[in-house]
Chain A
Amino acid sequence: MVNITINGKIVQAEEGEMLLSVIRRLKIDVPALCHHEAVEPLGACRLCMVEITKEDWNGWSKFVTSCLYPVEPDLIVLTHSDQVNEIRRTIMDLYLARHPNSPEIQKLAEEYGVLKTSYEVQVDGDNCILCGICTRICDAMGFHAISLVGRGHGKTVAPPLDEPPPDCTGCLSCALNCPTNFIEFSDQGNKRTIWKKDFEMLACVKCGATTITREFAEFLSRNRDIPFEYFETCDACHRKETSLSMGRIAAWTKEAQS
């Protein structure tokens, strides 16, 4: 454990832990679009930039992405100094030029006082900020179905060859954790479509309710050693079954005791 100063407050942190985790633990609102605790930090969105200095740096300070900066002893961190806010405003300005139609980015930029971009707006731009959360989560879960393809201006997130990815199981983790809700999917009744691939939802054998896709359930039972029957009943019906069997045991106990 080492002592660091964040916004004038002395806090304890584990050495080597990333600064953003410490800041988030203190409930200080530092924006970050590409951060997810489930995956390794990447430092793609640049919004979590903070100012750091030390007492023996003779008044010098530097700007680092807090999600990638490990805690050092005696670090002095400023999360909302004027210069940091200025950097964030510039980044928001650029984001607004590239993704003018994203409500999430508009809201974040508004919080920092950027209502309109000062650059030329990219008319045919989409809402993908190329943060890589979707691909990193997909890799962390062990599917490797999508990845960032192309370079420079043409870089996008896509499955191999832009065809329905054979490794995708339709777990929806990429779409649900996308910071700008860019990834499209449809969930209608027993059918789910994502990345142009159609999936059959696994319906509960008792009530017909759906939770996950058949392919995801098969993946889990195959790789994680979970009986497939567990997935065939929905959670509400499972609860009913549990209460029924627990009630039966309790009734026997009651009879035996009386």
Chain B
Amino acid sequence: MKNRFVINPVLCTGCRTCELACSFAHSVDGKMGRSRIYPLDGGMTDLWVPVACLQCEEAACIKSCLVNALRRNPETGAVELNEEICVKCMACVAACPFGCALHDQQHDLIIKCDLCGGDPVCAKFCPTKALEYKPFEPAKKKIAG
């Protein structure tokens, strides 16, 4: 787990390029899938927040999966869904406290961010670097308040 997926809402312009890139990268049979990342304006007029799976350490989705379709990839640290095993009971969709496990109604699939197997396409296409996949560095300055 060398790199981390970093979201910096301050730089986000809400252009939704990440959504488009995600839909293309996770297309099913040549048809665009539902995006795993959601830029929402968060109720603050000047800030857009791309919401994507936070790959929790103690993940509610893994706990809720009764057939063990969700497992952590030890290389990327991402929680990955095995679509073959998934029985579509929607337990993970209901359990995720961040709302980041989704149901793709068009293809009838449960989807969640898997960091594209260690090379997130959304971060590559983000024009303002609001999304980055980079080695983790602790904050230099402590922020007061």
Contact = CB atoms under 8 A, between A and B. Distances in A.
A231 B89 CA distance: 14
Contacts of A256: 143-145
A235 B99 contact: yes
Interface residues of A, number: 45
A28 B41 CA distance: 45
Nearest to A143: B66
Interface in B50-102: 51, 60, 63-64, 66-67, 69, 82, 84-91, 93-102
B101 A235 contact: yes
A172 interface: yes
Contacts of B91: 171, 212, 216, 220
A256 B38 CA distance: 26
B10 interface: yes
Interface residues of B, number: 42
B-side interface mostly: loop
B47 interface: yes
B7 interface: yes
Interface string A152-191: 0000000000000000000111001100000000000000
Interface in A1-40: 36-38
A187 to B, nearest CB: 12
Contact of A243 (B49, B84, B103): B49
B8 interface: yes
A89 to B, nearest CB: 27
19 contacts: A38-B86, A172-B90, A173-B87, A176-B89, A177-B88, A212-B94, A225-B63, A231-B94, A235-B101, A238-B99, A239-B40, A239-B99, A242-B99, A243-B38, A246-B7, A246-B51, A247-B47, A252-B145, A257-B143
